[in-house]
Structure formats: C-alpha cells, structure tokens
Amino acid sequence: MTTNPDIADLQRTLRAFADERDWHQFHTPKNLAMALGVEAAELIEIFQWLTPDQSFDLDADQRHAASAEMADVFIYLLRLADVLDVDLIDAARAKIAVNAQRYPASVVRGSARKHREPNQKS
C-alpha cells in the first residue's frame, strides 16, 4: 500500500465508499481497468477537435468538464491500485527511472518520436 498519506487517505475514502454500496464485487481489476479506459476516453473527447493552442485555452465549461474527467480517471486508477495493492508513488518512481534509461535526454531531447533501442536509429 502507498506510503503517501494523502493518497492512502483517499484510497481509504474510496474503499469505504465502495463498501457502503457493496461495490467490491464489481471492482475487479478487469472492471476497474475498463472503467479507467472509458473515463480516459471521456477526457480525450473534450480535446478531440481542438487545436493544440485551443487545448491550452479551455473555457470555464471545458475546464470544469476536464477536471471532472481527470478526477474520474484518478479515482479509478486509485481503486485499481488499491485492489491490486500497488503503491502508485513507488511504481511511478520506478517507471521514471526506467524511462530515464530508455529515453536519455542526450538522445531524445526535442524529439517527439518514440526512442528505439540504443543500437537502432531513432
């Protein structure tokens, strides 16, 4: 479980919310991952037809909608981590370390292309 008190507290709150509604039977890793994908798609939909500049300049309604969808994504991610007993802070730190090795700044700086294996050309 996470050692971050804010995340741990939020996970306890979400677990209690599910307990009160007897939703644990539905909160399987598969279902939570699928719900996370649906909520991520709803967030994407807000930005779907915007230009890159417009995506930085959301109006109040768009910003509110994006905030609500980001919260949904975060909630499902926290529930999934709780169900699978994954410490998201540790997982994120480990992934950042992997990415630092995989995408060295000296090789990928300023490029949006996916970096390939070190011996291949990017």
Model confidence pLDDT, tens digit, residues 14-62: 999 999 999 999 999 999 999 999 999 999 999 999 999 999 999 999 9
Q: Confirm whether 44 is domain-assigned.
A: yes
CA–CA gap between residue 43 and residue 55 (Å, rounded): 12
- What's 27's domain CATH number? 1.10.287.1080
The number of folded domains in the chain is: 1
Q: Confirm whether 53 is domain-assigned.
A: yes
- Please give the pLDDT value at position 44: 98
Tell me the two tokens of residue 83.
Answer: 């169900």
Q: Confirm whether 75 is domain-assigned.
A: yes
Query: Using the 8-state DSSP alphabet, how is residue 11 labeled?
Result: H
Q: Confirm whether 115 is domain-assigned.
A: no
CA–CA gap between residue 75 and residue 27 (Å, rounded): 12
What's the chain's average pLDDT? 92
State which residues form the domain around 69. 5-108
Give the residue among 21, 42, 23, 20 at the shortest CA–CA distance from 31.
23
